[in-house]
Amino acid sequence: MKKDKDFIKEDFDHSLSGEEPNSAHEEAKAKWFQRLRKGITTSTSDKKETPEGLWSKCPECSYICTANELKVNRFVCPKCNYHHRIGSHEYYEILFDNNQYEELFGNIRSTDHLGFTDLKPYGKRLNEIHAKKPELHDSMKVAVGKVNGEMIVVACMDFEFIGGSLGSVMGEKYSRAVDYCIEHKLPYLVISKSGGARMMESAFSLMQLAKTSGKLSQLSDAKLPYISLLTDPTFGGISASFGMLGDLNIAEPGALIGFAGPRVIKEATKKDLPPGFQKSEFLLEHGFLDFIVDRNQLKDKIHQLIILFKH
224 is a contact residue toward Zn ion (CB under 5 A): no
Closest CB to Zn ion among residues 83, 198: 83
79 is a contact residue toward Zn ion (CB under 5 A): yes
82 is a contact residue toward Zn ion (CB under 5 A): yes
55 is a contact residue toward Zn ion (CB under 5 A): no
Closest CB to Zn ion among residues 80, 222: 80
Instruction: Determine the Cα angle at 107 with ends 159 and 88, to 5°.
Output: 30
Contacts of 309 (CB under 8 A, 6+ apart): 187, 225, 247
C-alpha–C-alpha distance, residues 206 and 191, integer Å: 20
Closest CB to Zn ion among residues 60, 290: 60
User: SS3 for 173?
Assistant: helix
61 is a contact residue toward Zn ion (CB under 5 A): yes
273 is a contact residue toward Zn ion (CB under 5 A): no
Min CB(264)–Zn ion separation in Å:
28
Q: How many CB atoms lie within 10 A of CB 300?
A: 12
Min CB(64)–Zn ion separation in Å:
10
60 is a contact residue toward Zn ion (CB under 5 A): yes
Closest CB to Zn ion among residues 55, 82: 82
Min CB(256)–Zn ion separation in Å:
16
Strands (E), 60-129: 64-66, 101-104
152 is a contact residue toward Zn ion (CB under 5 A): no
C-alpha–C-alpha distance, residues 230 and 42, integer Å: 49
Q: Which of 63, 204, 277, 309 binds Zn ion (CB under 5 A)?
A: 63
58 is a contact residue toward Zn ion (CB under 5 A): yes
307 is a contact residue toward Zn ion (CB under 5 A): no
170 is a contact residue toward Zn ion (CB under 5 A): no
Nearest to 142 by CA among 129, 130, 152: 152
Strands (E), 39-136: 55-57, 64-66, 101-104
Q: How many CB atoms lie within 10 A of CB 46?
A: 7
C-alpha–C-alpha distance, residues 196 and 257, integer Å: 11
Q: Which of 1, 80, 151, 264 binds Zn ion (CB under 5 A)?
A: 80
309 is a contact residue toward Zn ion (CB under 5 A): no
β-pairing, 188-194 vs 150-157, is parallel
Point out which residues bind Zn ion (CB under 5 A): 58, 60-61, 63, 77, 79-80, 82
